[in-house]
Structure 1
């Protein structure tokens, strides 16, 4: 019985402090409930069959309204309610933000044999984000240890570190340096920058989502971001191309980079 709903941001994160208000068609409030840590709202009080208006609010977000229909069982599913941040394109406060490797990931996905994907990640990386008063002048600097690649298979990792791919002996670091930030929609940005990989520097854009800012247990302030990019191996002189039957390459020509980043406000991480 009652009403069920999930409250999420556009990027799928739970909105823990959301409040759901339900009114009947006369405008009389019949339910008011808060979301839990998972962004779930559940009420047990039975409702009379018929249509209801569901309004979800949360500080910093634009309210969302929808209609829910209660069945003869006294229960209704409002589904997933998506809240958009007020202002949409607002980034964290200006200043230096330091990447926290312990709560971030740098991953890559490549197609294998044309039918599946191989997932890998880099275990050693660092960097910083500088949020400028003029947001388009904000900067991102990052460095990745090429030899820290980990795909869960030692033989494959050894091949990736070899001259066929990353050639980590000659090129131990992968570097990214941004040149500008351009709004691309609510909560989304395009980061223009240069990637230095395998001795080759190319312009690479990151599709960036800003996921929010909040306090951490250590007295700091954190901001969360998600970014993706697509690279072509041959743009970075990684031309290894074993061909299997029917002309299908063992490893795809493109590589999808997926970044999930937490950054701490300030030039140093807590305890460092």
Structure 2
């Protein structure tokens, strides 16, 4: 098994939400962590144990609208909850290069079981590129969606991950 380090400068999380007025886009760069996997013939071998740990600072999560961004940071309370963490402990292959991943997401002081789909490719330098997506309801993490000035934000958001990881050592 090889441990791969996430390259923060080439990894990010994007969040898409809806409001009563317009779509909301948020993102956070500088995702950090690691991936552990066995790579055989340029592909992650899901028959072998695999896992990952991903983390980002709450203050790095920013919305594209200044008013919503201010309200988002107030509700996220980064002093009390400084990070969002995901731990992947189960990986199953769905198709070549496509996987179902299971683990936990810790966000705003709440940890929940999560399932997502991801694609992983291994390049000629042994680097793993991962893209993944899932949706979540922020109320499951004790967050109420903002309501302000006639704007109502929907609680369900789509989360998209892009990460690049390089072999350690």
> How big is the shift at 1:112?
1.9
TM-score by length of 1: 0.55
Gaps of 5+ in 2: 40-44
Query: C-alpha separation between the residues in 2 aligned to 1:153 and 1:253?
Result: 17
Aligned equivalent of 2:42: none
State the Cα distance separating 1:188 from its structure 2 match.
0.8
- Given that 2:87 and 2:103 are in contact with CA atoms closer than 8 Å, whether structure 1 keeps it comes out as yes
| 1:79-158 → structure 2 map (5 Å cutoff) | 94-113=1-20, 116-132=22-38, 135=46, 136-158=48-70
Using the TM superposition, give the Cα deviation of residue 242 of structure 1 relative to its aligned residue in structure 2, in angstroms: 2.0
**Counterpart contact for 1:211–1:226, Cα < 8 Å:** no
Task: Give the corresponding residue for 1:12.
Answer: none
Count of aligned pairs between the two proteins: 163
Q: Which protein, 1 or 2, shows the higher relative CO under an 8 Å CA cutoff with sep ≥ 6? A: 2
Query: For 1:1-272, what aligned pairs fall within 5 Å after superposition?
Result: 94-113=1-20, 116-132=22-38, 135=46, 136-162=48-74, 164=75, 166-215=76-125, 221-242=126-147, 250-266=152-168
CA shift, 1:231, in A, is 0.7
- Structure 1: 5+ residue stretches without partners: 1-93, 216-220, 268-272
Structure whose alpha-carbon radius of gyration is higher: 1
How much is the aligned-residue C-alpha RMSD, in angstroms?
2.1
1:151: Cα distance to partner?
2.2
The structural deviation recorded for 1:119 is 1.1
Cα–Cα, structure 1 residues 124 and 154, in superposed 2: closer, same or farther, change >3 Å? farther
Given that residues 108 and 258 in structure 1 are in contact (C-alpha distance below 8 angstroms), is that contact kept between their aligned partners in structure 2? Answer: yes
Cα drift, residue 101 of structure 1: 1.5
Separation in 2, partners of 1:214, 1:222: 7
C-alpha distance in structure 1 between counterparts of 2:77 and 2:124, whole Å: 40
Question: 1:244: how far off?
Answer: 7.7
Aligned-pair distance for 1:153?
A: 3.6
Post-superposition shift, 1:172? 0.5
8 Å Cα contact 1:214/1:223 also seen in 2: no
